[in-house]
């Protein structure tokens, strides 16, 4: 077997055989297939797709490339959550300790930023001392002692996906539904969680721009999870406008702590609670009340223990960018659109994301949002504050914000879109 024949099969809209899939995943993991060759195959998959059997085999091959974890020794039921990525999507940060405070164990394997979307690990690494890389034994210890752990997948867990995940970020192939589904589900199935709730984002700031594509992705992942014995549910949630009032690493950590303290933006709180209820239900803890755990401080207690257990200082000052630039309202009226994609690209250009897989991120970079769609605004008042350590990036970031803000006349009625759009089970 050779990689050229595999690439050309998919390039010519053919169906990859089980043998081709098994071979190319194994060969790429070992380094026998080069990054540029896998990039070509990923682009062919993006353009020509895969059928259900191909996706299932691709996912199985990714799982088989490494080890599988086992949490059966824990006294609690396990529940995990995964988001397909959005702008300002910091939900994992308050969600994991919240669900743990309600009685479940949350083994949350998370990733880094992909394109214009933020990465959970990048955000948490803005906390001084916090470690994303844990051994399997360390992960189990943190999970046993605190009830929740957020960390990177170990080198032994779906190593094929770890290589491909970084490659997709820098080759324009992030949006391929078969690769998204197999990437997410290979890690989650290998992780060994008993139940899984998927947050599939829909809208301009998501990889799935419309409901039909989002339903296809959600249904594919729910099917993959169910076939492997993992109780899986998906919520389709809105990503037409940024989630919360921040986009960027340390900025989103601050906002997450506000939620855990009983405050925070209403949309972040609403989605956190909706996902928490789904996770608790899937774990068999239907009577738990996540709203109470936010009010009484128990979720905050778990957060502090979880951060400390991974070497972080929950009381340490978070990084702050050296430079700021304020974007003001061009007119008086009602803000009717703040495009999530434009804001995400601007945050990425400011340094909150990476252009190459080996690039560092600026922990203090990002965007503060001072008004959301539906809010009244006045000409000259701040709409956004841009943060970066490298002020030469402001013009580049501002270019991505052109045409993403709409302000209508005073008295305009704004039609609010619900956060949760659908549920797939």
Residue positions annotated with a catalytic role: 82, 161, 168, 183, 187
Local structure of 267: helix, strand or coil: helix
CA-to-CA distance for 274 and 81, rounded, in angstroms?
A: 12
- 376-377 and 333-338 as β-strands: parallel, antiparallel, unpaired? antiparallel
What string of DSSP letters covers 1-51?
--HHHHHHHHHTTPPPPHHHHHHHHHHHHHTSS-HHHHHHHHHHHHHH---
**If you ran DSSP here, which 8-state letter would residue 168 be given?**
H
CA-to-CA distance for 322 and 310, rounded, in angstroms?
A: 28
Q: Answer positive or negative: Cα dihedral of 356, 164, 179, 256.
A: negative
Asked if 79 and 196 touch (Cβ cutoff 8 Å), the reply is yes
* Best CA proximity match to 89, nearest among 340, 398, 349: 340
Query: Rounded to 5 degrees, what angle do the CA atoms 370, 330, 246 make?
Result: 20
Find tokens 């630039």 and name the residue. Answer: 325
What string of DSSP letters covers 374-395?
T-EE-TTSEEEEEEES-GGGHH
CA-to-CA distance for 274 and 235, rounded, in angstroms?
A: 9
CA-to-CA distance for 248 and 110, rounded, in angstroms?
A: 16
CA-to-CA distance for 384 and 375, rounded, in angstroms?
A: 13
CA-to-CA distance for 324 and 244, rounded, in angstroms?
A: 20
**Tokens (6 digits) for 26:** 């194994």
Query: What are phi and psi for residue 423, nearest 5 degrees?
Result: -135, 130
**Tokens (6 digits) for 271:** 């989605």
Q: How many CB atoms sit inside 10 A of residue 201's CB?
A: 27
CA-to-CA distance for 396 and 400, rounded, in angstroms?
A: 7
**If you ran DSSP here, which 8-state letter would residue 114 be given?**
B
Burial string for 104-137 (b: 16+ CB within 10 Å, else e) reads bbbbbbbbbbbbbbbbbbbbbbbbeebebebeee
């Amino acid at each position: 077997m050779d990689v050229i024949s595999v690439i050309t099969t998919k390039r010519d809209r053919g169906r990859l055989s089980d043998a081709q899939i098994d071979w190319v995943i194994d060969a790429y993991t070992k380094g026998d297939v080069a990054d540029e060759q896998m990039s070509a195959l990923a682009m062919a998959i993006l353009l020509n797709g895969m059928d259900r059997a191909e996706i299932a085999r691709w996912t199985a091959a990714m799982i088989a490339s490494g080890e599988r974890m086992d949490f059966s020794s824990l006294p609690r039921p396990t529940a995990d959550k995964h988001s397909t990525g959005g702008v300002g999507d910091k939900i994992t940060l308050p969600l994991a300790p919240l669900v743990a405070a309600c009685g479940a164990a949350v083994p949350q394997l998370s990733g880094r930023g992909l394109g214009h979307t933020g990465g959970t690990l990048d955000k948490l690494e803005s906390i001084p001392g916090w470690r994303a890389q844990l051994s399997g034994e360390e992960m189990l210890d943190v999970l046993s002692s605190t009830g929740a752990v957020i960390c990177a997948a170990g080198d032994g867990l779906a190593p094929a996906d770890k290589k491909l995940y970084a490659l997709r970020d820098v080759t324009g192939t992030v949006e391929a539904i078969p690769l998204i589904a197999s990437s997410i589900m290979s890690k989650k199935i290998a992780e060994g969680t008993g139940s899984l709730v998927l947050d599939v984002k829909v809208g301009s700031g998501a990889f799935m721009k419309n409901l039909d594509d989002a339903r296809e992705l959600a249904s594919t992942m729910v099917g993959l999870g169910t076939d492997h014995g993992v109780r899986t549910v998906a919520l389709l949630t809105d990503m037409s406008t940024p989630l919360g009032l921040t986009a960027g690493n340390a900025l989103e950590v601050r906002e997450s702590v506000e939620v855990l303290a009983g405050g925070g933006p209403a949309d972040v709180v609403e989605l956190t609670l909706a996902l928490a209820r789904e996770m608790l239900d899937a774990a068999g803890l239907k009577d738990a009340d996540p709203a109470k755990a936010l009010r009484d401080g128990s979720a905050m207690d778990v957060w502090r223990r979880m951060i400390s257990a991974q070497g972080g200082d929950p009381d340490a000052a978070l990084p702050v960018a050296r430079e700021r630039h304020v974007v003001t309202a061009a007119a008086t009226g009602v803000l009717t659109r703040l495009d999530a994609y434009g804001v995400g690209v601007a945050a990425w250009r400011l340094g909150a994301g990476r252009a190459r897989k080996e690039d560092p991120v600026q922990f203090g970079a990002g965007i503060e949002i001072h008004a959301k769609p539906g809010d009244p605004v006045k000409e000259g008042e701040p709409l956004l504050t841009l943060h970066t350590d490298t002020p030469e990036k402001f013009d580049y970031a501002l270019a991505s914000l052109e045409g993403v803000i709409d302000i209508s006349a005073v008295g305009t009625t704004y039609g609010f879109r619900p956060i949760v759009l659908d549920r797939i089970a």
